[in-house]
């Protein structure tokens, strides 16, 4: 049975450190150590992680790093790499790192090397991308495909959608990729409104080919196409990412145009698989390979780097420190990049679906808070929305600032201002502004003393809000691959520290079960028996004429 970090001496030592940390301000930590940045930052393969604005001392950091051994991180990394069923509640291996593996070393699952299957699907994706981009693959009327619509939900939608937007600067010019996920007909209808059936290709992404939202949207898209072009057109305008070949064939898709993936790939970790086909179509297969290579480089770093130099592990430690010892309940993800606008939403799924759990690997209470509530918005938009709360709202809210040194869309005068805002916000959250500083500033501006006395309380900023800044060289496929794999491995490290299975998601299933029970009642095919009064009242209200 796995052991809990909470019961360890290291955990108790950290609790003592936290008591002392409550009385220490970040501005004092910087004042007492002019070299703080160099002591609390890491650089690897072009990525810079500055965590000097976290409420840490060197002594506390050393204690946190002891969790590497308490949680048996080396052992868990070996189990992950060996293909053991570390997703123990579902009896599955966790091998998404195999999808971007660059070497010749076999990666085993149940004693069999999975890499020949991975390479075969990648080759199928390469051929398809090249055929579509060259115009070799054409629609039923002989016209070239100009629009691709991915129909999926959850990990079959959000990962590739986020990545497609993130890498907008690298898109194939003549092809537009769209994403439909919501069961609300407005999502599909508004997407199709601007498209032509003659030049549109649909990618249906569902491992089982039974997911309710995906299959309803797929059926409606199929009807839209068939009404315009006839049944025979389905084979030239639909492909599938699925393992249910009989379901694919029944839908009318040629099984040769189905791209496989496997049960050792969790949905929120699947963008590297055939689920990433729409991304590969958007950016070209060579760029998709660079995306995989960046992730593989981060895999090698995480698997081999020691605790004190391991970027994903250090990020995990910061979450543990802020959540379990300083009492933070949320974390803000603040990418200063419009291209990364969807990153906070993607990380919500990656982190909260993985570690938002109250039962550990032994079926027991973990004994501490686990995943913080993650939220955020792209800068500088967020500055005009919720930053007021960050600065003066009185809650401890750690923040992750993410920005690139170079712009992906280099319009003159934009990126310098963006960097200035990003770094300034992190500095302001850290340093704050005291009443004495506010008074001196207003006096220097010759503000009357009566006005100073009246306005002073409103202009004080407590500061001491912890943050990290993650600086990328540029937002290209390789560095973006590194970034996403960095957060994936952080999730794994947190799961091991909190003694969680980060790879199941039973909480997602319960609501689906209830929806399947309610659907025949809503459709009038079953009586409304055994319902609570609220649900019964809502259904009755919907049936009013």
Q: Which residues are catalytic?
A: 353, 384, 512
Q: How far apart are CA 358 and CA 352, in angstroms?
A: 12
Question: DSSP secondary structure string, 142-155?
Answer: SPBP-EEEEE--GG
Dihedral sign computed on CA atoms, order 437, 440, 443, 449: positive
> Is the peptide bond between 380 and the residue preceding it cis, with omega within 30 degrees of 0?
yes
Measured in degrees and rounded to the nearest 5, phi and psi for residue 268 equal -75, -5
Tokens of 361: 């690997």
> Do 272 and 100 form a contact (C-beta atoms < 8 A)?
yes
Residue 469 DSSP class: E
Neighbouring residues of 89: CB distance < 8 A, sequence distance ≥ 6:
501, 504, 506
Instruction: Report the 10 Å Cβ neighbour count for 246.
Output: 9
Q: How far apart are CA 92 and CA 111, in angstroms?
A: 13
Give me the helices (H) in 321-431, please: 343-347, 353-355, 387-392, 415-431
Tokens 């995990």 correspond to what residue?
A: 316
Coil, helix or strand at residue 486:
helix
> Do 123 and 259 form a contact (C-beta atoms < 8 A)?
no
């Amino acid at each position: 049975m796995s052991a809990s970090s909470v019961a360890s001496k290291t955990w108790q030592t950290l609790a003592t450190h936290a008591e002392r940390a409550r009385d220490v301000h970040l501005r004092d930590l910087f004042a007492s150590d002019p070299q703080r940045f160099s002591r609390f930052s890491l650089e690897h393969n072009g990525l810079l992680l500055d965590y000097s604005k976290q409420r840490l001392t060197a002594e506390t950091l050393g204690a946190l790093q002891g969790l590497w051994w308490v949680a048996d991180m080396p052992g868990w990394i070996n189990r992950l790499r060996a293909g053991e069923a570390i997703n123990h509640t579902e009896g599955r291996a966790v091998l998404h790192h195999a999808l971007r593996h660059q070497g010749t070393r076999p990666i085993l699952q149940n004693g069999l090397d999975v890499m020949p299957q991975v390479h075969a699907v990648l080759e199928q994706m390469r051929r398809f991308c090249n055929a579509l981009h060259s115009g070799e693959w054409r629609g039923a009327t002989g016209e070239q495909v100009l629009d691709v619509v991915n129909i999926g939900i959850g990990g079959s939608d959000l990962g590739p959608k986020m990545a497609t937007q993130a890498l907008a600067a690298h898109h194939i010019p003549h092809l537009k990729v769209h994403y439909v996920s919501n069961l609300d007909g407005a999502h599909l209808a508004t997407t199709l409104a601007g498209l032509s059936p003659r030049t549109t290709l649909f990618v249906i992404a569902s491992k089982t080919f039974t997911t309710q939202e995906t299959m309803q949207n797929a059926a409606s898209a199929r009807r839209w196409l068939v009404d315009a072009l006839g049944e025979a057109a389905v084979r030239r305008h639909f492909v599938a990412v699925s393992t249910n070949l009989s379901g694919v064939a029944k839908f009318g898709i040629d099984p040769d145009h189905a791209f496989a993936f496997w049960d050792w790939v969790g949905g929120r970790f699947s963008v590297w698989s055939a689920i990433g086909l729409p991304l590969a179509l958007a950016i070209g297969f060579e760029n998709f390979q660079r995306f995989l290579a960046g992730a593989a480089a981060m895999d090698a770093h995480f698997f081999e780097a020691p605790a004190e130099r391991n970027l994903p592990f250090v990020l995990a430690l910061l979450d543990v420190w802020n959540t379990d010892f300083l009492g933070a309940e949320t974390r803000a993800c603040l990418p200063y990049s419009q291209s990364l606008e969807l990153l906070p939403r993607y990380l919500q799924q990656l982190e909260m679906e993985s570690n938002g759990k109250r039962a550990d690997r032994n079926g027991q209470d973990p004994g501490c808070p686990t995943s913080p509530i993650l939220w955020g918005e792209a800068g500088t938009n967020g500055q005009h929305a919720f930053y007021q709360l960050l600065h003066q709202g009185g809650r401890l809210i750690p923040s992750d600032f993410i920005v690139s040194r170079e712009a992906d869309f280099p319009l003159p005068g934009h990126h310098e201002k963006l960097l200035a805002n990003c770094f300034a916000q992190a500095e302001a959250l850290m340093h704050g502004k005291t009443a004495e500083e506010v008074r001196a500033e207003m006096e220097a501006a010759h503000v009357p003393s009566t006005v100073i006395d009246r306005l002073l309380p409103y202009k004080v900023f407590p500061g001491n809000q912890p943050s990290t800044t993650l600086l990328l060289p540029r937002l290209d496929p390789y560095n973006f691959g590194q970034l996403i794999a960095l957060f994936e491995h952080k999730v794994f490290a947190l799961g091991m520290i909190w003694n969680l299975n980060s790879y199941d998601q039973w909480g997602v299933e319960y609501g689906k079960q209830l929806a399947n029970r309610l659907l025949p009642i809503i459709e009038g095919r079953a009586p409304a028996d055994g319902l609570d009064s609220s649900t019964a009242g809502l259904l009755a209200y919907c049936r009013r004429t």
